Amino acid sequence: MKAGAQHTFQANMSEAEIRSFFDRYTAAFSALDVGGILGHFAFPCQIATETAGWAFADRASIEADMTGFVDFYARQNFARAELSRFDYQPLSATFGLAHVNWRLVASGGNTLVDVDTTYILRMGNDAPAIIGILGHNEDGQWQRKGVAAA
């Protein structure tokens, strides 16, 4: 976005609409669809985990990292992501937090990891967008399995 440019945001997004956004995000995540996943982001954005953090100015700057992320999951025999908990916390007309628990499932049905994540959302005219991710406990779970997290 150029200096001085502004976006219009609305305050009238229901929790059901936000949940629907996460249902679509879950489908893209389960398909390991980089384009589909990134279609849920707005930029700039940040991602922080227990052990690392990244900032991305635009979509092009995150694409290689997101490709590495989905490749990591594919190597773990990932089959799907299940959104097992979803709590939305509105912060203002423009921002909200989504606190979720992901059950990441292997192709045989076993749980790979069961992780808690908080998403920082910007409310847009048509849908929310992810502008930040806080990965609370995924790195540690992969480490306990002897796997270096993505």
> Is residue 86, in this structure, part of any structural domain at all?
yes
> Is residue 2, in this structure, part of any structural domain at all?
no
> Is residue 122, in this structure, part of any structural domain at all?
yes
Phi, psi of 73 (to 5 degrees): -65, -40
Q: Print the domain residue range for 31.
A: 15-144
Instruction: Answer whether 73's CB lies under 8 Å from 104's CB.
Output: yes
What CATH number did the domain enclosing 131 receive?
3.10.450.50
**For 60-111, how does the pLDDT look when each residue is reduced to its tens digit (9 = 90+)?**
999 999 999 999 999 999 999 999 999 999 999 999 999 999 999 999 999 9
Asked if the model's pLDDT at residue 129 lies above 50, the reply is yes
Structural domains of the chain, count: 1
> Is residue 75, in this structure, part of any structural domain at all?
yes
- Band of residue 13 on the pLDDT scale cut at 50, 70, 90: confident
How would you classify the pairing of strands 128-135 and 41-48? parallel
pTM of the entire predicted model: 0.90
Percent of the chain with pLDDT over 70: 92
> Is residue 83, in this structure, part of any structural domain at all?
yes
